[in-house]
Amino acid sequence: MSLFSDPRWSEALAHLPDYLGNHVRVSLTALALGLLVSLPLAIAVRNRRISRGVLLGLASIVQTVPGLALLALFYPLLLALAALSLAWFGAGFSAFGFLPAVLALALYSMLPVLRNTITGLQGVDPAILEAAQGVGMTARQSLFMVELPLALPMMMAGIRTAAVWVIGTATLSTPIGQTSLGNYIFAGLQTQNWVFVLFGCLAAAVLALAVDQLLALIETGLRRRSRLRVISGGIGIAALVAATLAPSLARSPSSYIVGAKTFAEQYVLAALIAQRLRAAGLTASSREGLGSNVIFDALASGDIDVYVDYSGTLWANQFHHTDIKPRAELLGDLTATLAQQKITLLGELGFENAYALVMPRQRADALGIHSIADLSAHAATMSMAADYEFFSRPEWAGLREAYGLSFRAQRQMQPDFMYAAVASGEVDVIAGYTSDGLIAKYDLVVLDDPRHAIPPYDAIVLISPKRAADQALRSALQPLLGHIDIADMREANLRAAGGDGASSPDAVARWLWDKIGKTGAQKQ
Amino acid sequence: MQDAPPIAFAHVGKSFDGGRGAGPVVAVNDVSLEVAAGEFLAIVGGSGSGKTTLLRLANRLIEADSGSIRIEGEDVRAADPVRLRRRIGYVFQSGGLFPHMSVAGNIGITPKLLGTPAAEIAARVDELLDLVRLDRSQHRDRFPHELSGGQRQRVGVARALAAKPRIVLMDEPFGALDPLTRDALGDDYRALHRKLGLTTVMITHDMTEAILLADRVAVMRDGRLSALGTPSELSASGDAYVGELLRTPRRQAERLRMLLPRDGAA
């Protein structure tokens, strides 16, 4: 099988109209907004030394904020604004996806445009400015007839830089709910689907190059007063916009949106839910790669309709409880707390995906470590790895306190790399997930938690307030409840990490459904 | 009004901020000067003598601190500076052409600002190209960087004349040109000045050029007007600085008479 006959290429291609269309829409809107703000600002401050310095300083500071963080910051900011707007004007807006992405990217695009416009305008020969005044131009005429045309090549260079930055950074808007070419990259990274990662990178690079070259065409056209170049460049941009927007506009908006967090299991479960909804004759699409906190707020505000979360995660992270309750009691409390926010806890899927401390079986046996209590004696000489969230989660604080854990070193890793890292001895212990198929694959052992420092993490289906009374949705998802056991989920996760054609979330979800159907039949 | 001189400076003064720590620098100090209709006046002086400042005061590229400046009888302080500049032709040092505009665009700029119809501007541009002796079809659509220094300055003159001004101010217009071009351009402009009945004030640091082109020569030194008169009046002046300025042209003339006796006899 050659590299390009891999079925994942055609699967990636099938997503392209949606991902690319959204990517172009968010990038160009952000760029347009950025220009609309930056150009007048640059013109206004060009001859004012102090405000010029302040503005460029601020834009530089924005630039030093990593793109992902900037995007992430706009989400809670808009959420708060939306709440205020709802309280004051009776109308809220969605703080999810498009709006925060556009605002953050627009802010990101400002520095090159501001800097190049100011530099370009200041670079105009003073003798030419005097001539403009001398032939009888007003300040405004001098600006539009002489200064801006002469600064144009410099300004266009800035606009091109901004365009390339925005298109590249827009791939990071996936975790705040804006579909983009980043969906390939985030999904690919989580499910070890390198075809997707490569496809996403290539698509973003090609898009950036195409826009850059079209802008270059317009630039040289303007400089050489060649109307042909300007028009063909303009037509190129317009065609690009039309081509990428047409398919996504023509598609009927899907009625149900299924959310997924940033790891393989979530992609598979979202695919499974979407498949069930479609099987019930409903339309559904998924919004994947959402951050843990983003996804809950998105459900509460109705930006997504349904997703799978874990009881312990909500308990400790969303509702900030530090006490750990037994499974049934915790679920009961959670259902009641969620109901206050009009969120429906439809039920448990039947398996638990808990955080657990995991190490190689042989090493654990050799050291006589069976539980976390045994581990604490060795911890000072050991290094530990976990995902990006774990060390800042309350569960970790609880664990450390309960067992007096203190490791020699702590590292954060992409979840899929942790298991290989602990198996190879790169690190000694990891905070793994009990539903992960890699635990069995690498012959790792889950350490007991005799002091119950880690809460139960039952996988639960949550439904947004606006779908609370939706019987079609409820009955479509009913067959899943209680029917996915830990063994099936582990195997599904292992398949999803397989890195071959059968490892796409859709394919794994179909396999899982078949499996549930059989076990379901056996159980009945 | 009809009898008012085209340009009249009365006790004009102008100082500039001397930069950090230094006191103000007096650029123009109590200058009174009238330019008669149809006159060609050259202002001669070294760098820092205030000659360029004096010229710019006339069309309010710079505002005077004291005294009054009248253009055709009207105090410039009362005039709208933009409208004032549009009715005074101005030729900049080394052209000052807009690099992104064609020759036609540069020449037609002031009429365009005045709202003249495009067809009229096009006709006027051709007329002006003829006037400054540039080939219409060859130069109309060229850009400044494609022209020689002399051609650029011819375009500069054409631009200054485009809106049919009665007054033309020239800031060292031929200074950067080679002697032959400079001579030809000077003669051509002098002819235009006479033909169009212009009132011209030209800044130069070259006394020879001033004597050869102008009706009267004003000499400036340290912001003051130190002499004013026709070349022969200046020649009779006892002023030491004027004598110094006249020494070069005199010596050149003598040399030329000795070296080129036939021309001298003619």
- Which SS3 state, helix, strand or coil, does residue A380 take? helix
Task: Summarize the confidence of residues A234-251 as an average pLDDT.
Answer: 74
Measure CA A359 to chain center: 30
Kindly report, as residue ranges, where domains of CATH 3.40.190.120 are found in chain A.
355-446
Which pLDDT band, with edges at 50, 70 and 90, does B80 fall under? very high
CB nearest to A146's CB, from B92, B93, B98: B98
Which pLDDT band, with edges at 50, 70 and 90, does B85 fall under? very high
A423 in Cβ contact with A444 (< 8 Å): yes
Contact B110/A135, CB-based, under 8 Å?
yes
**A131 neighbourhood in chain B, CB within 8 Å:** 92, 96-98
For A494, half-sphere exposure in the C-beta direction (CA atoms, 13 angstrom radius) is 14
First and final CA of chain B: distance in angstroms?
45
First and final CA of chain A: distance in angstroms?
42
Q: Set out the domains of chain B in order of their start, with CATH numbers.
A: 38-66+75-261 (3.40.50.300)
Task: Summarize the confidence of residues A397-404 as an average pLDDT.
Answer: 88
Give the pLDDT score at A524. Answer: 39
**Beta strands B167-171; B199-204: pairing state:** parallel
A43 in Cβ contact with A115 (< 8 Å): no
Does residue B175 carry a pLDDT above 90? no
Q: At what angle do helices A182-190 and A415-423 cross, to 10 degrees?
A: 30
Give the pLDDT score at A521. Answer: 45
B113 in Cβ contact with B159 (< 8 Å): no
How confident is the model over B119-140, as pLDDT tens digits? 999 999 999 999 888 999 999 9
Does residue A430 carry a pLDDT above 90? yes
Instruction: Return the residue in B52, B71, B91, B92 with the most chain A beta carbons within 10 A, the one to mutate for interface testing.
Output: B92
Which pLDDT band, with edges at 50, 70 and 90, does B1 fall under? very low
B7 in Cβ contact with B167 (< 8 Å): yes
Give the pLDDT score at A253. Answer: 57
d(CA A457, CA A351): 9
Give the pLDDT score at B99. Answer: 93
Contact B85/A136, CB-based, under 8 Å?
yes
Q: How far is B187 from chain A (nearest CA, A)?
A: 24
Report which residue type is found at A506.
D
Does residue B118 carry a pLDDT above 90? yes
Q: How far is A138 from chain B (nearest CA, A)?
A: 6
Measure CA A282 to chain center: 26
Give the pLDDT score at A75. Answer: 79
Which pLDDT band, with edges at 50, 70 and 90, does A19 fall under? confident
Q: What is the mean pLDDT of chain B?
A: 89
Burial of A373 (0-12, 13-18, 19+ CB in 10 A): middle
Kindly report, as residue ranges, where domains of CATH 1.10.3720.10 are found in chain A.
3-250
- Identify which of A31-40, A322-331, A452-461 has the greatest average pLDDT: A31-40
CATH superfamily of A3-250: MetI-like (1.10.3720.10)
A174 in Cβ contact with A182 (< 8 Å): yes
Kindly report, as residue ranges, where domains of CATH 3.40.190.10 are found in chain A.
256-353+457-523
Instruction: Return the residue in B53, B56, B100, B152 with the most chain A beta carbons within 10 A, the one to mutate for interface testing.
Output: B100
d(CA A148, CA A403): 67
Report which residue type is found at B73.
G
How confident is the model over A484-510, as pLDDT tens digits? 988 889 889 888 877 676 778 888 999
Could you tell me the pTM of the whole model?
Answer: 0.75
More confident residue, A438 or A310: A310
How far, in Å, are B51, B142, B194 from residue B8 at the CA level?
15, 39, 21
CATH code: domain A256-353+457-523 is 3.40.190.10
Contact A135/B93, CB-based, under 8 Å?
no
Contact B113/A135, CB-based, under 8 Å?
yes
Does residue A187 carry a pLDDT above 60? yes
Give the pLDDT score at A18. Answer: 81
How confident is the model over A85-115, as pLDDT tens digits? 777 877 767 777 788 889 989 988 998 999 9
Q: How far is B222 from chain A (nearest CA, A)?
A: 24
For B238, half-sphere exposure in the C-beta direction (CA atoms, 13 angstrom radius) is 0
d(CA A509, CA A492): 8
**B92 neighbourhood in chain A, CB within 8 Å:** 127, 130-131, 134
More confident residue, B240 or A149: A149
Which pLDDT band, with edges at 50, 70 and 90, does A392 fall under? confident
Does residue B265 carry a pLDDT above 70? no
More confident residue, A238 or B200: B200
Give the pLDDT score at B237. Answer: 80
**B52 neighbourhood in chain A, CB within 8 Å:** none
Please indicate if any CB of chain B lies within 8 Å of the CB of A129. Answer: no
Structure tokens at B79: 């005039």
A137-146, A241-250, A278-287: least confidently modelled range: A241-250
Give the pLDDT score at A523. Answer: 42
State the CB neighbour count (10 A cutoff) for residue B194. 11
Q: Pick the closest to residue B92 from B157, B142, B35, B48 (CA basis).
A: B157
Q: Which CATH architecture has domain A355-446?
A: 3-Layer(aba) Sandwich (3.40)
What percentage of chain A carries pLDDT values higher than 70? 94
Does residue B211 carry a pLDDT above 50? yes
d(CA A202, CA B113): 50
As a three-state string, the secondary structure of chain B is CCCCCCEEEEEEEEEECCCCCCCCEEEEEEEEEEECCCCEEEEECCCCCCHHHHHHHHCCCCCCCEEEEEECCEEHHHCCHHHHHHCEEEEECCECCCCCCCHHHHHCHHHHHCCCCHHHHHHHHHHHHHHCCCCHHHHCCCCHHHCCHHHHHHHHHHHHHCCCCCEEEEECCCCCCCHHHHHHHHHHHHHHHHHHCCEEEEEECCHHHHHHHCCEEEEEECCEEEEEECHHHHHHCCCHHHHHHHHHHHHHHHHHHHHCHHHHHC
